Amino acid sequence: MNKDNVDKEIVEGFGDEWSRFDQSELPEKERKVRFEGYFSVFPWHSLPDSAEGFDLGCGSGRWATLVAPRVGLLHCIDPSVALDIARKNLAQFRNCVFHSATVDAIPLADASMDFGYSLGVLHHVPDTQAGIEACVKKLKPGAPFLVYLYYAFDNRPFWFRTIWRLSDVLRRVISRLPYGLRYIISQILAFLVYLPLTRFSWLLEKFGINVCNFPLSAYRNLSFYTMRTDALDRFGTRLEQRFSREQIRRMMKQAGLEKIVFSDNEPFWCAVGYRRY
Q: Give me the tens of pLDDT residue by residue for the chain, a chain 277 residues long.
A: 346 898 889 999 898 999 999 999 999 999 999 999 999 999 999 999 999 999 999 999 999 999 999 999 999 999 999 999 999 999 999 999 999 999 999 999 999 999 999 999 999 999 999 999 999 999 999 999 999 999 999 999 999 999 999 999 999 999 999 999 999 999 999 999 999 999 999 999 999 999 999 999 999 999 999 999 999 999 999 999 999 999 999 999 999 999 999 999 999 999 999 999 9
- pLDDT of 3: 61
**The pairing of beta strand 96-99 with beta strand 73-77:** parallel
Residue 14's contacts (CB-CB under 8 Å, 6 or more residues apart) are 59, 80, 82, 124, 237
How far apart are the C-alpha atoms of 158 and 2, rounded to whole Å? 33
Bridge partner list, 118: 147
d(CA 161, CA 179): 28
SS3 of residue 98 by DSSP:
strand
* Euclidean distance between CA atoms 37 and 266, whole angstroms: 7
* Angle, CA of 257, 121 and 140, to the nearest 5°: 30
Q: How far is CA 89 from CA 62, 83, 85, 86, in A?
A: 8, 10, 6, 5
pLDDT computed for residue 1 by the predictor = 38
Cis status, amide bond into 269, omega within 30 of 0: yes
For the chain, the domains span 8-152+242-275, 158-236
Q: Which fold has domain 8-152+242-275?
A: Rossmann fold (3.40.50)
Q: How far is CA 30 from the centre of its chain?
A: 16
**CA 147 to CA 212: how far, in whole Å?**
23
User: Which strands sit side by side in the sheet containing 115-119, from one edge to the other?
Assistant: 96-99, 73-77, 52-56, 115-119, 144-148, 270-275, 257-262
13-17 LR contacts (CB < 8 Å, sep 24+)? 13/175, 13/179, 13/182, 13/236, 13/237, 13/238, 14/59, 14/80, 14/82, 14/124, 14/237, 15/80, 15/81, 15/82, 16/179, 16/183, 17/82, 17/229, 17/232, 17/233, 17/236
Query: Exposed, middle or buried by CB within 10 Å (0-12, 13-18, 19+), for 196?
Result: exposed
